[in-house]
Amino acid sequence: MRFTVLIPARLASTRLPNKPLADIAGLPMVVRVAQAARRSRAHRVVVAADDPAIVSACQAHGTDALLTRADHPSGSDRLAEACTLLDLPDDECVVNVQGDEPMVAPAMVDACAALLAERPDCVMSTVAHAIDDLAEFTNPNVVKVVLDAQGRALYFSRAPIAWWRDGFAGGIARLPQPAPLRHVGLYGYRAGFLRRFPTLAQAPLELTEALEQLRVLWHGERIAVHVSSQRPGPGVDTPEDLARVRALFTPTA
């Protein structure tokens, strides 16, 4: 199984300025992400950056990086340009690892790539895990997903799904059964579809939920979902998240 990991990195961040360059145990966060991704079976790991400062920081620490346009509206658009710059063939598997996930599990990256290779009926793959915490289930920042009988995504939502008929009668006091699924923001694509994705019209549901993956479903394409028994490591969106990861992080280099 041959696949490439692409890591989109954008310097501007409203909640955490210069986030990709934030120091974690002596290295920029985006370099830590790339190090974790290299522990997967990927044959190549490349950072797709919007600013020369990120490219320079990566190259200074032995991490492959390329400069993309600064005006991309989303990470998917940035990765589409990266596919073109790298001249990846249409059938190449690309796994998108977010640039703020320095503790991404290499096994999840491998599972995402392997699932896409096994599912020619799907243009994308992603990962989910069972929710065991009621606060997580009701949190709109935690994206949920429901699946069909073949393990493909039916819908993604910030709302608590699936929801039992009488769920509102006594308030949200417990989790439904079977356990709901939390979506993990790790994606596998074939390079040809990734290049096509930015040309697809945005979906009304995508705009409502602020979830880009709903565009794929709205256009009739399918996303295969690997249900993992393991939870992902914490990501970094805020200064508080960064402090938490710094406290947990064990340097490997």
With CA atoms as reference, report the closest residue to 19 among 59, 62, 50, 60.
50
CB atoms within 10 A of CB 178: 8
Sketch out the chain's domains with CATH numbers. 3-235 (3.90.550.10)
Task: Tell me the per-residue pLDDT of 39-64, one tens digit each, with 9 for 90 and over.
Answer: 999 999 999 999 999 999 999 999 99
**Per-residue pLDDT at 75:** 85
Give the separation between CA 37 and CA 41, rounded to whole angstroms.
8
pTM: 0.92
In this prediction, residues 152-161 reach a mean pLDDT of 96
Give the separation between CA 242 and CA 171, rounded to whole angstroms.
34
With CA atoms as reference, report the closest residue to 63 among 48, 77, 76.
48
- Is it the case that residue 97 has pLDDT exceeding 50? yes
For the chain, the straight-line distance linking the first and the last C-alpha, in angstroms and rounded, comes to 27
Give the separation between CA 130 and CA 114, rounded to whole angstroms.
20
Retrieve residue 113's tokens: 């790539």
- Is it the case that residue 251 has pLDDT exceeding 70? no
**Per-residue pLDDT at 237:** 85
Task: Tell me the per-residue pLDDT of 210-249, one tens digit each, with 9 for 90 and over.
Answer: 999 999 999 999 999 999 998 888 889 889 999 999 998 7
Q: Are 48 and 9 in contact (CB under 8 A)?
A: yes
- Is it the case that residue 253 has pLDDT exceeding 50? no
Task: Tell me the per-residue pLDDT of 126-135, one tens digit each, with 9 for 90 and over.
Answer: 999 999 999 9
% of residues, the chain, pLDDT over 70 = 96
